[in-house]
Amino acid sequence: MTHELKTGGDRGYLRIATEEAFATREQIDAYLRMVADGSADKGMTSLWGFYARSPSERATEIIDRLLDLGDRRIADMDATGIDVAILSLTSPGVQPLTDADEAKAMVTRANDYLAERCAAHPTRFVGMTSIAPQDPAWSAAEIRRGADLGFRGVMVNSHTQGHYLDEPQFDPIFRALADTGQPLYIHPQTLPDAYIGGMIDAGLDGAIFGFGVETGMHLLRLITTGIFDRYPDLQIAVGHGGEAIPYWLYRIDYMHKAGVRSERYDRLKPLKKDIVTCLRENVLATTSGLPFAPAIKLMIEVMGEDRVMYAMDYPYEYVPDEVRTHDLLDISDAAKKKLMQTNAERVFGL
């Protein structure tokens, strides 16, 4: 794969990358403090204890790129033909912080900084609001403030200290999403201590496996407790090939219905929309970290060509040939334009 990667739509579409991360120095310093004082959970210690301290080339490159919302990032986008990056505060955001006031202040500053950088590069950067689910009512207000700042979606980094968004206390967040008409993006983070088991010892706790397991479970917790029955217009996006759910969809849907009929679990109730319908009407999947033609084509076949969006997963994956993989997909030109450009324009109101 050798074709030149240019911005501007020379292949018949723009490339809009929908899961692109940034960080603030304050955020990374907070992670380092938590690792040092022992308040970080096992997953954060494994992940950020490495990336924020390692002198390895991969770790230092990722930190440098995370912290740049200026010339270097624009240059990296230009070099890989990315026209627009939809930006969000890198995982796990402020969600591990046990002091809610510190978390809220930190994420407010991060959102203000992102708004400033989006204003400086209005044709290249689009922002998503980050929140502190430790305080759901405050987070709802921050979602509304983010919409006023011009942000086009809301990012949550999966669980908040082991708590998931299907729990009733988080409903103000969904009311704010409904009020603003914005999509929710659920990004992975490491599993909470209660679930992580032997994954760290096996080297499987991060993006290799643990991330997808944890985030896929989060989405299924929401679906199976009727989030789309309560909020029928809500749109929720997940990355990395839909965190494997499109591949498992038949079995998940079949066994959910079997579980409801068996009355084995008090939690599982009949849904107005079954899980297959939810994936085709309310769930979006991005190709972040999964530039693999068979997986992308499976997502499109299972979910529909209006439900899948391109993402690079910058800076964790920054490989020009991964962009070319998308350009060379054996799908129709119309489907490819939806994947690379117009689905994102519709979902994020660009």
Residues marked as catalytic: 313
Any idea what the Cα angle at residue 321 is, between residues 68 and 289, rounded to 5°?
Answer: 65
Q: Distance (Å, rounded) from C-alpha 284 to C-alpha 296?
A: 13
Q: Distance (Å, rounded) from C-alpha 296 to C-alpha 67?
A: 30
Q: Distance (Å, rounded) from C-alpha 9 to C-alpha 19?
A: 20
Q: Distance (Å, rounded) from C-alpha 90 to C-alpha 77?
A: 18
Q: Distance (Å, rounded) from C-alpha 160 to C-alpha 173?
A: 13
Q: Distance (Å, rounded) from C-alpha 47 to C-alpha 58?
A: 13
Nearest Cα residue to 43 out of 169, 156, 158: 158
Secondary structure letter of residue 39 according to DSSP:
-
* Sequence-distant (≥ 6) Cβ neighbours of residue 302 within 8 angstroms: 246, 247, 249, 279
